[in-house]
């Protein structure tokens, strides 16, 4: 009886540990995806700003 209870407890702890590991593995991937999106948006905004400034300088003949 006692051995079965201990074995069940170990199995339950192992399952809980696996769930926690799965959760912790997802967080870095989400952070990586968000950082890549922010990087792409910042590059796009920077290039847009340069292009619009170039167009303004051509229009104003500066």
DSSP string, 8-52: HHHHHHHHHHHHHHHHHHHHHHHHHHHHHHHHHHHHHHHHHHHHH
Of residues 5 and 30, more confidence is placed in: 30
Q: pLDDT per residue over 34-46, tens digit each?
A: 999 999 999 999 8
At 52, the pLDDT band (50, 70, 90 cuts) reads confident
Give the 3-state secondary structure of residue 1: coil
Whole-number average pLDDT of the chain:
78
Q: How many CB atoms lie within 10 A of CB 3?
A: 7
Cα–Cα nearest to 49, from 57, 39, 37, 61: 57
């Amino acid at each position: 009886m006692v051995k079965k209870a201990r074995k069940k407890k170990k199995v339950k702890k192992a399952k809980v540990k696996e769930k926690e590991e799965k959760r912790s593995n997802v967080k870095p991937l989400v952070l990586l995806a968000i950082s890549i999106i922010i990087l792409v948006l910042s590059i796009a905004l920077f290039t847009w700003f340069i292009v619009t400034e170039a167009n303004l300088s051509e229009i104003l003949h500066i």
